[in-house]
Structure 1
């Protein structure tokens, strides 16, 4: 496996400083990810927090109960003030049921059982449930979670379990209902799946798709994917997945289980009813301390702005940071005096009413971007969480919210970033001496400069010279004619404009002829750009994984998992 680190611009100043200059932003985060001592401190903090918390959990023993026989202080741990924590036994049962339903591998099921060890830790990361896996960065986030968990387990000599959080509670259908890839005509193709009708704005995990929608999406893929040795098996696998999937979340989970289950990756759907039941105490805490939690977010927003950063997420003084489900779908709550209202003002609740609903019907509730990190901390002993740059930035708002609930923000790890480079693209780039940096940041200007350099007769200079000479001589003619009849000056200038227009038209047709002459080479250059920066986006954000599995199989993904790669926030070219 060949990897090459390349320079990058993150376009997110807070994340840039977090990765490159942590001290500068340490007031917004809890632990320095680049200091091994901080990992040990986080592990100790979690031991105290989870050993001090019970939350209805029936431990087999009041001792440490470490599966591997090692003790890391759970017996002696004393939590002076402990936040509510999930019932691990119930969590294991819920995860076992869900992962079994989506066909996860034995290694993942074994990892779930390891959660019974009250000293086990987890590394998390996740994303929305995109069509057929969503953008490539979903895959890279899973790779990072597994890599980070494995390395942390080695460094700390503790069980560390990789967990992928599928944001099935999210309602942004238009963000997850499509994918892009290079088709068999070497053009960017979009495949989109139709929403169920009637459509309501609810969580993706609650939108049930019919067989026709799945078949239509599969047909689009089958028609335009490049023929390869892997295509038949891939399409068969996708048909198996979709035939047993009621929702996008179901299909996404089965795909991730296929790709990563044998590496021990545990999956969780944030909208799983069994998980919601476990979350009831945390929803109660978020309701009971709602204003105090939101006040910390507003304060952090002000602090970030004062430090010169633009907050990545919007917070408001009356934000409740929770959604509720009703007949209209997933609706954001707001606080008004002592009441909670949905955004449209159609429903209102007192705090007591919400507390009762949280206990009796927790599936009515859902987290927003600010409370999801808090809920994750309630559910799991999160050693670290893997995030993209934008996520690192908005998590910077939450440190004081964690503290308000007697919790601590976990270690934040930037996910691994890759650009896949095949032999053909690499050969073309070498031939044209086109760098990855030029392709990423200034391709159009580079392309135009290259084409101009192919002009062996310098026709653009000749056209400019002729226009200049003609204009000079014609203006002299206009001056002479004006002496005969001043009214003819305007006619002369208009005539010159028409002549210049015709010369420019002739020049444009010359340019077209030249492009036609170099059409094959320009197609190669455009293929480079389409492969590495589709739609002017980084490859990992523009393309889906399916086309790459179709071309290369799944071994390249296993290689990313099996070969240790430093989780250091750098971007790498992966030569496949």
Structure 2
């Protein structure tokens, strides 16, 4: 397979320092390191020692069996049976996104699957891949859209408008059949014609017919793409899962002040090491949400004040006893935030390693002390593998214009203009520059002459000179445009390179949806990613399709 390594910095100094082991101070924040082979064995031993502090594996497996049953495969069934028997897991997660969201979601799932296979071979025992769908999140604007390249090679944004109602979780926001049909029609109009298009649309139609929410649709796509790999799915907002989580919610409420201090202490360490915080550690935050039934199940972040828990505006209140009662009677009304979710994940599963993106790795640095406060231990942080898919046509164009991936990512516009300049055998810019300079030089004595006759003519002459220069520049621009039109096809090819590899000035994986590749290559593009060797410290690869 034709691939190429490329060092793609994450823009997160803390993450870079962790991955490349640049700062020994970080050991106190993260503990294990994915690149240390012995740490995997040590973590496995610790999971066995801590087995009694986690949720009942058989009960968790039964909830997973029910959740995965609509789309299950023999491989997923085998994975769930292994979980019931106490198998460790490699886990990663993401908020649901329209048609699976940006490519990085697929990359994370590939990392989870490949990481589980790698760990299975490394440890000599079954390690199960699990994908945590963050259906409890309520940020609709993050989940409701994606970008697809259309037949005209333009980036088109597809969006699902939020139904009327309170700001509840994505999993609890119901989508009607008409909404799915409209989205499918829009996708059909956007994607170019191909041999794989009818099958793609039919598969998505079958998935949406079974989907009551974006989370359901998201799970259906992941199940279809990764079912044969044994990837187990869960929705964090599954009420059956919430029932199992109740004891940990109880501990989080009872020890809330201690957890808050742990997060604050970790935040101070992060800052003292010279890094910025990637998650808010707010004074008085409970780091938990309640689905406020009095307000249509709106997901409400809890703050502590005067011995009570309340919403941000102080208009709704809960006592500690009331929250503890919820853990017993209605645990589905409770929800984690970004700082408590890692703990809940580790309570449900024997997490050998958790696959995280750059931003996640940075904010997980805040959670280590909270883990320890509860007698737990942070799992191994596994950086997500990252890819750029390079289609054959794009690779040919890059060779034609002598562009490297780094040229496209860091200096595309400059290289594009450089190429156009190299085609200019007429020296248009140089000749116009010479004429402008000659005119300005020749005009100088005339200005002096006019000013000596009447001082007021000097300003008039300067205005006149500027107008003439502007007319020369106008003719220069028109001449350049006319010249460049000879290279319209080349400019389109150059722009297509940037749009495919670095759309909107961002990495491909953060913008483009996988539907375009499914449409052009069927399953071949994904199979290539799954065949790549796993790297426990992540890294970026250019994958030539």
1:447-458 correspondence to structure 2 within 5 Å = 447-458=416-427
C-alpha contact (below 8 Å) 2:35/2:536 kept by paired residues? no
Give me the TM-score of the superposition, normalised by structure 2. Answer: 0.97
CA distance in 1, matches of 2:132, 2:43: 21
Cα deviation per residue 1:489-547 (whole Å; 9 max; x = unaligned)?
11111111111111111111122112212111010000000000111111111111111
Tell me, yes or no, if the aligned pair for 1:413 and 1:567 is still in contact at 8 Å: yes
Partner of 1:161 in structure 2?
A: 128
1:563 to partner: Cα distance? 4.3
Does residue 213 (structure 1) correspond to residue 179 (structure 2)? The answer is yes
1:201 corresponds, among 167, 170, 190, to 167
- Which residue is equivalent to 1:12? 12
Could you tell me which of 78, 83, 93 is aligned with 1:126?
93
The 8 Å contact of residues 115 and 534 in structure 2, kept in 1 or not, is answered as no
Aligned-pair distance for 1:2? 2.0
Distance 1:521 1:559 in 2: 30
Give the counterpart of 1:483 among 452, 459, 467. 452
Task: Provide the rounded CA distance (Å) in 2 between the counterparts of 1:122 and 1:217.
Answer: 35
1:22/1:32 contact within 8 Å kept:
no
Equivalent residue for 1:67? none
Say yes or no: does 1:2 pair with 2:2: yes
Separation in 1, partners of 2:451, 2:365: 72
On the 8 A contact 1:104/1:254 being kept in 2, the answer is no
Contact 2:278 2:359 in 1 (8 A): yes
1:118-148: CA deviation from partner (whole Å, max 9, x where unpaired)? 3x10110010111111111111111111111
Q: Which residue of 1 aligns with 2:118?
A: 151
Return the offset for 1:181: 1.5
Q: Secondary structure at the match of 1:18?
A: helix
SS at match of 1:164: strand
> CA RMSD of the aligned region, Å?
1.2
After superposition, residues 122-521 of structure 1 pair within 5 angstroms as 122-196=89-163, 198-326=164-292, 327=295, 329-521=298-490
Q: Is the 8 A contact 1:218 1:239 kept in 2?
A: yes
The answer to whether the 8 A contact 1:104-1:258 is kept is: no
Mapped partners of 2:470, 2:340: distance in 1? 62
Where 2:288 maps in the other structure, the secondary structure is strand
Query: How far off is 1:566 after superposition?
Result: 2.4
Bigger drift between 41-50 and 104-113 goes to: 104-113
| Cα distance in 2 between the residues matched to 1:205 and 1:361 | 17
Deviation of 1:193 after TM superposition, in Å, equals 1.5
3-state SS of paired residue (2:467): helix
- Partners of 1:130 and 1:189 lie apart in 2 by 16
The answer to whether the Cα contact below 8 Å between 2:385 and 2:540 also exists between their aligned partners in 1 is: yes
Which residue pairs with 2:74 in the alignment?
106
Q: Using the alignment, how far apart are the partners of 1:268 and 1:22 within structure 2?
A: 35
Counterpart position of 1:38: 39
Which position in structure 2 is the counterpart of 1:49? 50
CA distance in 2, matches of 1:344, 1:378: 32
State how far apart, in whole Å, the 2-side matches of 1:46 and 1:208 are. Answer: 38
Structure 1 unmatched runs, 5+: 54-83
Q: Distance in 1 between matches of 2:247 and 2:185?
A: 45
Displacement of 1:555: 2.6
Quote the Cα distance in structure 2 between the aligned partners of 1:304 and 1:494.
Answer: 59
> Following the alignment from structure 1 to structure 2, what is the Cα–Cα distance between the partners of residues 373 and 345?
28
Contact 1:136/1:544, CA 8 A, preserved across alignment: yes
Q: CA deviation at 1:23?
A: 5.1
Which structure 2 residue ranges, 5 or more long, are not aligned? Answer: none
Q: CA deviation at 1:337?
A: 3.2
Q: 2:171 is paired with a residue of what secondary structure?
A: helix
Deviations along 1:314-367, whole A, 9 cap, x unmatched? 111211100111125111111113111111211111211111111111011110
- Contact in 2 for aligned 1:463/1:507 (Cα 8 Å): yes
Q: 1:22 Cα shift?
A: 5.7
Matched positions, count? 541
Q: Say yes or no: does 1:116 pair with 2:84.
A: yes
**SS of residue paired to 2:335:** strand
Q: TM-score, length-normalised on structure 1?
A: 0.92
SS of equivalent residue, structure 2 residue 389: strand
Aligned partners of 1:481 and 1:3: how far apart in 2?
Answer: 69
Partner SS state of residue 111, structure 1: helix
Cα contact 1:332–1:342 (8 A) shared by 2: yes
Deviation at 1:104, TM superposition (A): 2.2
Mean Cα deviation higher: 354-363 or 266-275: 354-363
Instruction: Give the match for residue 493 of structure 2.
Output: 524
Q: CA deviation at 1:568?
A: 2.9
Aligned to 1:27: 28
Deviations 1:355-410 (A, max 9, x none): 11111110111100000000001000000000001100000111001001110000
